[in-house]
Each structure stands twice: as C-alpha cells, then as structure tokens.
C-alpha cells in the first residue's frame, strides 16, 4: 500500500483504501492539486497537518461523500476549465 503521508496512518484505527492526486493548475507562484482520499475513519486534522508539513495549504473541501451508498461526482463547470 502506498502511504502518501509520512506517518499515516498513525494508528490501526485509521484506514484509507486509496489516494488520487491530480495536478490541476500551475502558475508562477503556486501549483494547485486535487487530492481525493477514500477510506474509513479518516482523520481530517491529521491529513491537513501532514499536507502542511510538506509545505501545502488546504484552501477548501469541495466534496464529502458518506453513507451506505456513495453517489458519484458529476462534471461541473470547473472541470471543463481544467481542459484548457
């Protein structure tokens, strides 16, 4: 299993099934990425701490999916801009 975070998971209670990181945009000063993490008992504070440890900043959480049945994300106008 690939561990994206340096000491993740910190205990046996946290488990993620997969991580996807996509580079969305590069400009002179920043690189914007989209990170999707799938799993049970994810620790938001630990994830943010680890991203910050590597020099990143979390600007927003755009989606949270939970429940017995997960509804897939549909394309949004922002996704169309990524093609340009």
What is the pLDDT, as a whole number, of residue 53?
Answer: 92
More confident residue, 66 or 25: 25
CATH code for 15-81?
Answer: 3.30.70
pTM (2 d.p.): 0.58
Does residue 17 contact residue 39 with C-beta atoms inside 8 Å? yes
3 state SS of 48:
helix
pLDDT in tens, 3-54: 444 444 555 555 677 888 888 888 888 888 888 888 878 888 988 998 899 8
Burial 31-63, CB ≥16 within 10 A → b, else e:
eeeeeebeeeeebeebbeebbeeeeeeeeeeee
């Amino acid at each position: 299993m690939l561990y994206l975070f340096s000491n993740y998971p910190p205990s046996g209670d946290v488990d993620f099934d997969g991580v996807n990181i996509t580079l969305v945009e590069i400009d002179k000063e920043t690189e914007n990425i989209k990170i999707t993490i799938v799993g049970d008992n994810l620790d938001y504070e630990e994830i943010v701490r680890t991203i910050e440890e590597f020099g990143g900043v979390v600007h927003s959480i755009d989606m949270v999916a939970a429940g017995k049945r997960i509804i897939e994300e549909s394309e949004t106008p922002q996704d169309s801009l990524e093609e340009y």
